Amino acid sequence: RVPTTIPKMLMMRELRMKEVSVVQFLAFVAQSVTSIGLALLDFGAKALAYGVLVNAAVELVAIYALRPIRAVFTFSIRCARELLAFGGGFTLARMANSVALQGDNLVVGMSLGPVALSYYARAYSVLAIPAALLDSIDGAVFPAFSRLQDDREKLRQAFVAGLAMLACIVIPTSTVVVVLAPELIEVLMGPNWNGAVLSLQILAPAMYFRTVYKFASTTARAKGAVRVLAISQVAYAVCVLGGAWLGSRWSVEGAALGVGLAVLAQCLILLPIAAKLVQTPVLSVLLPSQQSLILGGLLGVVAWGSVHAARTAHLPSPFRLAAVSLVCLGVIALSYRFAAERILGPELTSGIGKVMGKLLTSVPRRSL
């Protein structure tokens, strides 16, 4: 996979995301077909290894066909210094982030044992879903912001609009997760994992802070502020380890609270840094938008009332989860119809409008 890194990054810098996505999808399909086919032919565990090799080969050929590069065997001290300065800070930031992402599991496991660790890990896995979705679009946001790094006004507008969009999506989601935590745990993991419910409810409010600090981190990387980013990631790793250790002295829920506070601290560190880099007032982005809080409160009340009625009626967990989800989607649809910008905010309203427009244009019209 290493030989494809440079041409793939160049394609992403040129915003050729659709081509990269198609190549990765085709490589995944080739890997799946190879692994399944060889497994049926009794290749055993080797089927998985051969599938990975086929994936890498397909991606290598396709990427170089779409974006060939010419190797130049020269050496420049100035270029080497620039690469080491940027790459060194970026590598340190990634290493510190890896410690922060895995260190809490180590601390909880050593302090409270494997059972508590399993509850904590399951709760944290739900917390990480929105951030994982943000990671999937980071490949598009980073090159787009990099191209705008010299256009201060456009970068500032994109940064502010991105934060508003995240707030309007993640804050209502985290509110609903707090209310539906018992149903989510039972449906996704089974009734034997009820011990993770309280930890999930404690970690759910940190969804917003985690996605915001990741968005701020992407902005800082796009502006080339890798040294500041590295320092903040080291501080984050220390906060996560310390919070998990202090909280673990009481319970797994205490560890969840400690890690949640560490996520909040990282958000409060990185968000002002990113705001300063794009030259926007910190106070204007430090607090989430009014619309996101209104929508979060509205969906929280609706979800609580709906799930309370469903629990009283003794409906199974999957039906309770489906019913509340439909009710919440109905509230969003009504808000979009009658009070879009007042409740959903202009960014989310615009996003929904664009998605609906694409869906409507993709539906073939019947000729009369």
Q: Is the sign of the CA dihedral 329, 334, 336, 341 positive or negative?
A: negative
pLDDT digits (tens, 9 = 90+) for 133-192: 666 566 667 767 777 767 778 878 888 888 888 888 888 888 988 888 888 888 877 778
pLDDT digits (tens, 9 = 90+) for 53-68: 898 888 888 888 888 8
Instruction: Give DSSP secondary structure letters for 126-156.
Output: HHHHHHHHHHHHHHHHHHHHHHTTT-HHHHH
Backbone angles phi, psi at 46, to 5 degrees: -65, -25
- Predicted structure pTM score: 0.74
Question: Hey, what long-range contacts does 215-218 have (CB within 8 A, 24 or more apart)?
Answer: 215/134, 215/141, 215/162, 215/163, 215/166, 215/274, 216/267, 216/270, 216/271, 216/273, 216/274, 216/275, 217/93, 217/270, 217/274, 218/138, 218/141, 218/142, 218/145
Task: Say what the pLDDT of residue 135 is.
Answer: 61
Task: Say what the pLDDT of residue 350 is.
Answer: 65
Task: Say what the pLDDT of residue 4 is.
Answer: 75
Ranges of residues in the chain with a pLDDT under 50 are: 359-360, 363, 365-368
Task: Say what the pLDDT of residue 343 is.
Answer: 66
In 3D space, the residue among 169, 166, 155, 131 whose CA is nearest the CA of residue 220 turns out to be 155
**CB of 202 closer than 8 Å to CB of 260:** yes
